[in-house]
Amino acid sequence: MLDVDELPEKPNVNTFNSVLSGLIGGLAGLAVGHPFVKVRLQSRELSSRYKGTFNCFVSTIKQEKVGVGAINALVFGSYTYLMQLQAQSQGIPYDETAQNAPLQHVFLAGMGSGVISSFVTCPMELAKVQLQNQTTNTTAIKGPLDCLHKMYLTGGLRYCFKGMVPTMLRELSFGPYFLTYEIVTRSLAKPNQELSGPRVILAGGVAGIAAWCSTYFADVVKTRIQSEPHRYKGFIDCMKCSYYEEGWRIFFKGLTPTILRAFPSNAATFAAYTWTMNLFLSKETITRRTYEEAIL
């Protein structure tokens, strides 16, 4: 068995490890906070079917189970890769950026990871929304792949990316997401100081809230476009119609349950991610150095 003291001071962390850790983190976040209640509350056709957040939550849990761990893996893996690219572009050895990476690098890498993930997230969530819009007696769509296949036959590949603009805009929130996490962790622990579990949980929860608040309106528009793809001409048209019909408050509909879920869900995501990366690094204690080397 390898002794911890024999490990190199700065282990070589690669993108593949980050992808696997992101997958574990995503599954943990999914288990803690169910992510699909807001879709039903935001949808113009569905919101009237539920008495409130709790009723919608219970009904959704009973009817549908969808995994999103793969998206988290893509986000964290892309983030790690983009952080490495920025370091290389400046001719800085990778390990030298691990201690105190520039916050602008964190912000740009976060937004970039969101843009990359949106190409997978958009069709995946389009199928999810269409499935959630079905009544219990509807059997026309058998599953996500069948849903996308029918959409492809109807309108081609472009139709499978309905809502791409608001999806990409919403996914830019990963910039504030990772930035907030870094700011909070740096304020709670000095370099080389132990980054304890409670600090990771606090920073992850705050980061999740910051991310959702930054681009929530785009998520509302995305959900409406994907719920009724034939009703709206595009992002701007959906915003105009929604505003004229229901006022500005519609862009914040479902925000309360989303925020309530965001803290525990993202706290669990970062805790599981950090724990898994810690296993890859073969260390038993989470320190500031090992976490930053993992996330970068």
Q: Is 118 within the bounds of a domain?
A: yes
Q: Quick check: is 7 in a domain? A: no
Supply the pLDDT for residue 115: 96
Residue 106's CATH number: 1.50.40.10
pLDDT value for 217:
93
As given in the structure block, the two tokens for residue 274 are: 């950090």
Domain for residue 3, yes or no? Answer: no
What's the domain range around 73? 13-295
The verdict on residue 89 lying in a domain is yes
pLDDT at 59: 53
DSSP the chain: ---GGGS-SS----HHHHHHHHHHHHHHHHHHS-S-HHHHHH-TTTGGG-SSHHHHHHHHHHH-----HHHHHHHHHHHHHHHHHHHHHTT--HHHHHSS--HHHHHHHHHHHHHHHHHHHHHHHHHHHHHHTS-TT--S--SHHHHHHHHHHHHHHHHTTTTHHHHHHHHTTHHHHHHHHHHHHHHHS-TTSB--HHHHHHHHHHHHHHHHHHHHHHHHHHHHHHHSTTT-SSHHHHHHHHHHHH-GGGGGTTHHHHHHHHHHHHHHHHHHHHHHHHHHTT-SS-BHHHHHHHH-
* Structural domains counted in the chain: 1
Residue by residue, pLDDT tens for the chain (296 residues) are 444 444 344 444 567 788 888 888 887 777 676 544 555 555 555 555 555 555 555 554 444 444 567 889 999 999 989 998 888 888 776 544 455 788 999 999 999 999 999 999 999 888 888 877 765 545 567 777 888 888 888 888 888 898 899 999 999 999 999 999 999 998 887 766 667 788 999 999 999 999 999 999 999 999 899 888 788 888 899 999 999 998 899 999 889 888 988 999 999 999 999 888 878 766 544 444 544 555 55
Is residue 188 included in any domain, yes or no? yes
Which pLDDT score is estimated for 188?
87
Q: Phi, psi (5° rounding) for residue 165?
A: -60, -55
Query: Residue 222: its pLDDT value, please?
Result: 92
* Residue 113 domain flag: yes
